[in-house]
Structure 1
Amino acid sequence: MPVSAAALAESLGRVPPSCGPVRLVAVDGHAGSGKSTFADWLARGEVPVVHLDDVATHDELFGWTRRLRATLLEPLARGADAEVPVYDWVARRFGPAVRVPCAPLVLIEGVGAGRAALRPYLARVLWMDVDQETAGAAGRLRDGPELDAFWARWTRAEREHFAADPTRPFAHATVSRRTGGYAITPGPRAVLDPDFSDTA
């Protein structure tokens, strides 16, 4: 059965803090797999969400770890609010920063959110259970043919990233879209809560 956003957020709120006083939860998966949609659904406008699309750049599709550590992880670990600069993909430069409050639960979503360098700061890693081909097709349809060249470059970079630094083997749970919401299935590393296990 699909789990409610409120119940899942409550379950995540019971795990031990992982980044100072914050329970930082990663939502990872292939581009186009629905990470942003799921994270916003889970947040319900109440939980801060950091989008890695705002952190990556044309020149650093995956080379953003140091910047994320300095602008997000280290402030939260100190118990302070964070200020994360937002990259403008049209202007090709960073714009004003977005404030991320030091809340009990913070979501970080995007390809590579569960990478090895971030896992020491993460309370849980959730993986969107959509294969790369299906996710990529959905992403290309969403973005239109004008971004086909970017998608070709991105797909190669994503494949190389996950080959060198896979997330799925370290996921605490996988997320599947179901009629009426989402189902949570235990991942390779752990489960969130027995109430949310869906192995059907």
Structure 2
Amino acid sequence: MSSAPSRSNADPVAAALDTAAVRVLDAVRDLGVSNPVVLIDGQSGAGKTSLAKQLVARWPLTGRVQLVALDSIYPGWDGLADGVEAARTLILVPHGRGVLGIWQRWDWDASAPAEAHAVDPSLPLIVEGSGLITGATARLGDVRVWLESPLVSRKRRALERDGEIYRPHWEQWAEQEERHLVRDDPRRHATHMFAIP
């Protein structure tokens, strides 16, 4: 399946994400491996989930690609760093070692761990979420994507997506993202950076 854009798009966000998808898929193809790992980071509302879904839909390699969203792993509204560490130790490290990874979904309604999921090391893997690209995770990802987007646009998209559930937690989450930017400098570890309007 071609990774080329299917059509011209007047929506600047969709067009930027489409361009990003094409470039990431080209990079995946250029790796020449059967089970590459793609990491997607960016602050809330930057377009990580949308890009990840495009990559899955247009995946250029034969077979299935696995997608893990950190929103399913963060242990609550104060859990950005803990969720990233869980992804590193339970998903990325095992995948890199060629062994099965097992992670537990966080049930946001019950505020408790839920069912377990497996990650097959023989299959390609996309992991997306805020805080994901750090010095420790960078060496475990073949293609590392940072999405940059203005605050006003990000907040509008995030609140349209998650509504009133997210609104009271926006600042709390944003503070954790800011700490990640200062502490981990994800832009420095990224192999690809894209501006999303």
TM-score, normalized by length of structure 2? 0.76
Q: Are the structure 2 counterparts of residues 14 and 166 from structure 1 closer, same or farther at C-alpha, using a change threshold of 3 Å? A: same
Unaligned runs of 5+ in 2: 6-17
> Structure 1 residues 4, 166: CA separation in 2 closer, same or farther (over 3 Å shift)?
closer
Structure 1: 5+ residue runs without aligned partners? Answer: 179-200
- In structure 1, how many angstroms separate the alpha carbons of the residues matched to 2:190 and 2:23? 19
Q: Which residue of 1 aligns with 2:41?
A: 28
Match of 1:32, SS state, is coil
After the TM superposition, which parts of structure 1 deviate over 4 Å for at least 4 consecutive aligned residues?
Answer: 1-8
Which shows bigger deviation, 157-166 or 6-15?
6-15
Number of the residue aligned with 2:163: 144
Q: Deviation per CA, 1:142-186: give whole Å up to 9, x if none.
A: 2223432111211122112212222123321123559xxxxxxxx
Q: Is the 8 A contact 1:30 1:131 kept in 2?
A: no
List per-residue Cα deviations over 1:83-130 (Å, max 9, x = no partner): 221111111111111222224521110011212221111112111131
How many residue pairs get aligned? The number is 175
Higher helix share: 2
Would you say the 8 A contact 2:41–2:132 is kept in 1? yes
Aligned to 1:164: 183
Q: 1:101 aligns with which of 96, 103, 120?
A: 120
Partner Cα separation in structure 2 for residue 151 and residue 177 of structure 1: 20
- Do the aligned residues in 1 keep the contact of 2:133 with 2:184 (CA within 8 Å)? no
Counterpart secondary structure, 1:36: helix
Alpha-carbon distance in structure 2 between the residues aligned to 1:159 and 1:86: 25
Is residue 73 of structure 1 aligned with residue 92 of structure 2? yes
Alignment-mate amino acid for residue 14 of structure 1 = D
The whole-number CA distance in structure 1 between the counterparts of 2:181 and 2:21 is 28
Q: What percentage of residue pairs aligned between the two structures are identical?
A: 23
- 2:28 pairs with 1:9: no
2:189 aligned partner, one-letter code: F
Which residue of 2 is the match for residue 112 of structure 1? 131
Would you say the 8 A contact 2:36–2:125 is kept in 1?
yes
CA distance in 1, matches of 2:100, 2:131: 23
Residue pair 1:33, 1:130 contacting (<8 A) in 2 also: yes
Q: 1:142 to 1:98 in 2, by over 3 A?
A: same
